[in-house]
Amino acid sequence: MAKLMACTDLGKRITLDRPRGQRQSSPMRTSLCLGVASAILLATPARPAAAQGALTSDLWRVAAGTLVVPPALASDGSAALWTPAAVLGDAEPRLKLGVEAIHAPAESGVAGTVATAAVRTRSGWTVNAVYGRLSLSDLVRTETSPEAVGGIPAFAQVISLGVARSVAGRALSVGLAVRALTGRLDDWSKTRWAADVGAVWERPRVRLGAATQFLDPRFGADESGASCSLGGEYRSRDIGFWGTPGVVRVRYGATLAHGEGVAHLLSGGFAFSGTFEIDVGAARETVSGYSVWRSRFGAAVTAGPYRVYVGRDGGVNGFGATYRFGLAATVR
């Protein structure tokens, strides 16, 4: 058996077994290492089940990399995608809408959109709906020469519906989400179901959260695309910054994906009067003994019912940054 090793945009190394001399079914070339890794997965019958699970979920790790907070504590427009425990506060019914654009440079070719809607009912339940789609561009097919003979479609899509509620005097929020995941690369496509749970415990200066993402309810082969996130946040007492009240926030998060080492995130920042926030952080990921560092940055401005925010993942060791631009609006 010969070993094939490919690098993904996530800074991970994928090692696959393939019989020596076996030819790939679809020779390809692409500027994105993730496309190369996925193509190898498709051409490798030795691990079809693992490839199917990854096909529907791996691209979403690119989007998750733009979060400066642990996924289990996400609170921006797309929070319901990362934690089913995302609730709308206050006692009155209200509606929250959000849209995000994910963009990476041409070297990576990843782009997509996430749209969300959340409704708080009179009975206190929050109902969340999410639609997201990420695509890879510039994937081409070649034959005996390096000339392209056609494009290769590649995307990951999620449709999610969830419910969440605050309990225990609103100190604890719990939620459940059911998701339909679809992934496609060339003529190979996969659709599967996932069921996720989440919980957030919040006190005046402390938040703790836990959430699963893309968990296979049957605990079968699709479990290769699942992950679990834990996170904690500490907020200081009110501090004056040049005459403006604000708080300092420090966070730590850990994410465990199937078959990989624990990914760590440490971040912190300032929130000024609830109108402006800025955060920086660093993430460390380890797979098969290889470790990489990724920088994180986030900023947000809130004006009345509107919130505009941006997130940045610095890429593997500073190469290939990915950006997230978002807008959320709350209607009472």
Per residue in 274-320, pLDDT tens? 799 999 999 998 877 788 889 999 999 999 899 999 999 988 755 67
User: What's the mean per-residue pLDDT of the chain?
Assistant: 80
Higher pLDDT, 227 or 147: 227
- 11 inside domain: no
How far is residue 82's CA from residue 72's CA, in Å, rounded to a whole number?
6
User: Side chain identity at 201, as an amino acid letter?
Assistant: W
Distance CA 68, CA 304 (A): 23
Distance CA 291, CA 284 (A): 7
Residue 51 forms part of a structural domain: no
pLDDT digits (tens, 9 = 90+) for 161-180: 999 999 987 899 999 999 99
Residue 80 is part of a domain; what is its CATH number?
2.40.160.60
- Asked if residue 239 is part of any domain, the answer here is yes
Q: Is 28 inside a domain boundary?
A: no
pLDDT digits (tens, 9 = 90+) for 23-82: 333 333 333 344 433 433 333 333 344 445 566 788 888 899 999 999 999 998 899 999
Position 30 in a domain: no
Residue 48 lies in a domain: no
| CB of 232 closer than 8 Å to CB of 205 | no
In 3D space, the residue among 194, 309, 214 whose CA is nearest the CA of residue 255 turns out to be: 214
Q: Is the pLDDT of residue 190 over 90?
A: no
Spatial neighbors of 111 by CB under 8 A, at least 6 apart, are 101, 102, 103, 104, 134, 135, 137
Residues 6+ apart with CB under 8 A from 289: none
Q: Return the DSSP state at 316.
A: B
Q: Would residue 109 count as lying in a domain?
A: yes
Phi, psi of 288 (to 5 degrees): 55, 35
The parent domain of residue 107 ranges over: 58-331
Count of domains observed in the chain: 1
